[in-house]
Structure 1
Amino acid sequence: MGGSIYSIRYKAFLKRLREARQEANLTQVEVANKLNQPQSYVSRCESGERRVDVVELTDFAMIYKKPLDYFVNFTLDNNSD
């Protein structure tokens, strides 16, 4: 698996993570409070500065009321970077 494909896939994941929060009508501060983390934690997760592991993803999914596959079940546009 090449690095550029991985980057595209992770960017798609990050987009879903951010969209899930927005669809739940929550701010980063509200999510951070539910996770007992600072707002910067949510920001770093959404920007890709901090990698999200499966346990953390489960926490996000519960807060956003989304199934885990919502975050990884997406179609990639071959023209994406």
Structure 2
Amino acid sequence: MEKTIYSGQYALFIKLLRAAREDAGLTQEEVAARLKATQTFVSKCERGERRLDIIELRNWCKALGIPAAQFVAELEKKL
């Protein structure tokens, strides 16, 4: 079984994650500050070098000002 971090589905996930940040008008630095993380962490997540678990995704969505359910629904729609 292929590791999901290298799958097309995960590539779509991180593409939507970056798009959500850009749609919110936020920089990586601003998201990092809201997450109490570093800009490097945000960058690695958006490049797919660092996986997000469901709790981290929920916090990320809160930082972007969108419901996690909305983000997941958009992902499901695109998949």
Alignment TM class, shorter chain as reference = 0.7 to 0.9
TM-score under structure 2 length normalisation: 0.82
The CA distance in 2 between the partners of 1:24 and 1:33, in whole Å, is: 15
TM-score under structure 1 length normalisation: 0.80
Aligned-residue sequence identity (percent) comes to 41
Task: Kindly indicate whether structure 1 or structure 2 has the higher relative contact order, using CA contacts under 8 Å at least 6 residues apart.
Answer: 1
1:67 Cα shift? 2.7
**Max Rg structure:** 1
The letter for the 2-side match of 1:20 is A
1:64 Cα shift? 1.4
The letter for the 1-side match of 2:45 is C
1:73 Cα shift? 1.8
Map 1:2-81 to 2 at 5 A.
Answer: 2-3=1-2, 6=4, 7-69=7-69, 70-71=71-72, 72-76=75-79
Larger fraction in helix: 2
1:65 Cα shift? 2.2
Structure 2 unaligned regions, length at least 5: none
The letter for the 2-side match of 1:3 is E
The letter for the 2-side match of 1:10 is Y
- Quick check: 59-68 or 44-53, which moved more? 59-68
Structure 1 unaligned regions, length at least 5: 77-81
